[in-house]
Amino acid sequence: MTTRTWESLTIPAAGTYNLDAAHTTIGFVVKHMMVSKVRGTFGSFSGSVTIADNPLESSAALTIKTESISTSVADRDGHLRGDDFLSVEKYPEITFRSTRVVGHKDDEFTVVGDLTIRDVTKEVELKVEYGGVGTNPWGQAVWGFSITTEIDREEFGLTWNQTLETGGVLVGKKVKIEIEGEANPA
């Protein structure tokens, strides 16, 4: 992979890069019963990043297969796939399309884009930490990143909940999304 220096960062050359599914994790965290957190992942996805000559004009796209959700608890996963939550038969994908890079400082970028869940599209802001470039042991060039954001699941039509006898609700409204990954030249 050809690299270049931009504002003291070594970054990939302009071009399109695909997410490496074997080295990318798309995860989420949500409060459970107001006292703990449940973590989960999506195992089937595809995405790409197009790095522009001016990195602040770059773009990204991600498609996640909703049926691939996993929290390592079969009953909970089945409930999440059902109509109370993702309704995977009716809405088989979650998508994200960036619309602009709104800022950066050092290796951290703020990316804004459209997130669509259950055919509801909302603008979200991602915090993207650029991890750098390298060459894996098999000679393939890669670059890495960490992404975080938080959404209100109810804004996307994920409104199911259950009131607890002790007060509060079973499932928190806020969902933290965490992506750790690598990308390779397309």
Rounded Cα gap, residues 94 and 49, in angstroms: 17
Q: Choose among 93, 90, 66: nearest CA to 78.
A: 66
Q: What is the pLDDT of residue 162?
A: 84
Q: What is the domain-level CATH number for residue 140?
A: 2.40.128.110
Number of domains present in the structure of the chain: 1
Domain residues for the domain of 25 are 3-185
Burial class (CB in 10 A: 0-12, 13-18, 19+), 20: middle
Count of Cβ atoms closer than 10 Å to residue 25 Cβ: 13
3-state secondary structure of 113: strand
Count of Cβ atoms closer than 10 Å to residue 54 Cβ: 10
Strands (E), the chain: 3-6, 9-12, 15-19, 25-32, 36-42, 45-51, 59-65, 69-70, 93-105, 108-117, 120-135, 141-152, 171-185
Global pTM? 0.92
Q: What is the pLDDT of residue 177?
A: 97
Q: Choose among 170, 169, 173: nearest CA to 154.
A: 173
Question: Mean pLDDT of residues grouped by 10 in the chain (186 residues)?
Answer: 88 94 95 87 97 96 98 95 96 98 95 97 98 86 95 93 81 94 92
Q: What is the pLDDT of residue 141?
A: 83
Q: What is the pLDDT of residue 138?
A: 81
131: region left, alpha or beta (phi > 0 left; psi from -120 to 50 alpha): alpha
3-state secondary structure of 72: coil
